[in-house]
Amino acid sequence: MTTPAPEVLLTMPARPEGVGVVRQALAGMADALDFDPTVLADMKMAVTEACTNVVVHAYDEDAGMLEVEMLADENGLTIVVRDHGAGIQPRPARSEPPALGLGLPLIAALSDAFELKGSAGHGTEVRMTFAYSRSADPATQNPVTGNVGADGRWDPDADSPA
Amino acid sequence: MDANPIVLDETAGDVVVVVVEGEHDIYTAPTLRERLDEALGRGGGIVVDLTAATFVDSSVLGALLDARRRAIEAGQGYVVCVGDAVEPGVQRILDITGLVPVLPVIQGREEAITAARSTNGTSE
């Protein structure tokens, strides 16, 4: 790769139908950067989970926006998924039926670096970086632990399904 | 035309196959839940065929796990199947969540139909 691809900023209403659009844009960006298909698959999964968190958790009504930023540098591609909603909350603002609660563990397992920022009333930002060349599988470093609990949500401490 | 269809195949008689094709996430998860409700409502075994699925996220896993729980409670056989070559967008999430033995996921639709039939009517 000689020239870094330009920065991309997507802004759209935080609705379920937008998540696939973000995946399409990401696939185009990763293709231009010649990413390995297995890393692209991890990227699509992690970004889907981050966008889904915004759609499900960020806003009480359909009024908020989902922002996705893609920044390429010499090491890899960083994707920032941002909302301007209520901040990190343990329970979804709207979700029917309840979300599984597996989004953040998946993001941690699939990305080479991951940072979560947020505070009540100031929105949330998930920043994920994917390396052009991986020295190890991030899912080995940050494995998803647990199993499905009796309430249908993911229980990180469960050894077997309820 | 729907690029990401979810349809019921009832040609196996006592086992309904929910055929999931293409990309599925929070947008299509409600449709998947409806199809799984229909399949559970038939009262027999259920197979969810992900052979032609190219991407599934945790919203889809949530729907599959809910249906699994309801099938177990009702004594209905429930098996998820994949094909010979599984897309990374499907295989990876099944692998890292450890859900292959839980759902369970096996290879081949015919094998899955046989497995769902054999556990049908065996409520816990």
**ipTM reported for the complex, 2 dp:** 0.93
Contacts of A50 in chain B (CB under 8 A): none
Domain A8-134 in this protein, CATH class: alpha beta
CATH of the domain at B12: 3.30.750.24
Give the start-to-end residue ranges of the domains of chain A: 8-134
Per-residue pLDDT tens for A51-104? 999 998 888 776 799 999 999 998 899 999 999 987 666 655 555 666 788 999
Answer whether residue B122 is part of any domain.
no
Residue B87 scores a pLDDT above 90: yes
User: In angstroms, rounded to a whole number, what is the distance separating the alpha carbons of residues A70 and A67?
Assistant: 10
Provide residues of A within 8 Å CB-CB of chain B.
16-17, 19-20, 23, 37-38, 41-42, 44-45, 48-49, 52, 55-56, 97-100, 102-103, 106, 109-110, 139, 143-144, 147-148, 152, 160-161
Question: Cβ atoms within 10 A of the Cβ of A90, count?
Answer: 6
Length of chain A: 162
Give the domain range for residue B22.
6-116
Which of A127, A128, A130, A162 lies closest to A147, judged by CA? Answer: A162
Contact B57 A139 (CB under 8 A): no
Token duo for residue A142:
């940050």
Task: Tell me how many domains chain B contains.
Answer: 1
Question: Cβ atoms within 10 A of the Cβ of B92, count?
Answer: 22
- Report the pLDDT value the prediction gives residue A98, as an integer from 0 to 100: 65
Contacts of B23 in chain A (CB under 8 A): 20, 23
Most A CBs within 10 Å: which of B24, B87, B92, B94, as the mutation test of the A interface?
B92
Answer whether residue B43 is part of any domain.
yes
pLDDT class of B78 with cuts at 50, 70, 90 = very high
Q: Are A42 and B93 in contact (CB under 8 A)?
A: no
Whole-number CA gyration radius for chain A: 16
Give the type of residue at B120.
N
Residue A71 main-chain phi, psi, to 5 deg: -130, 120
* 8-state DSSP, B79: E
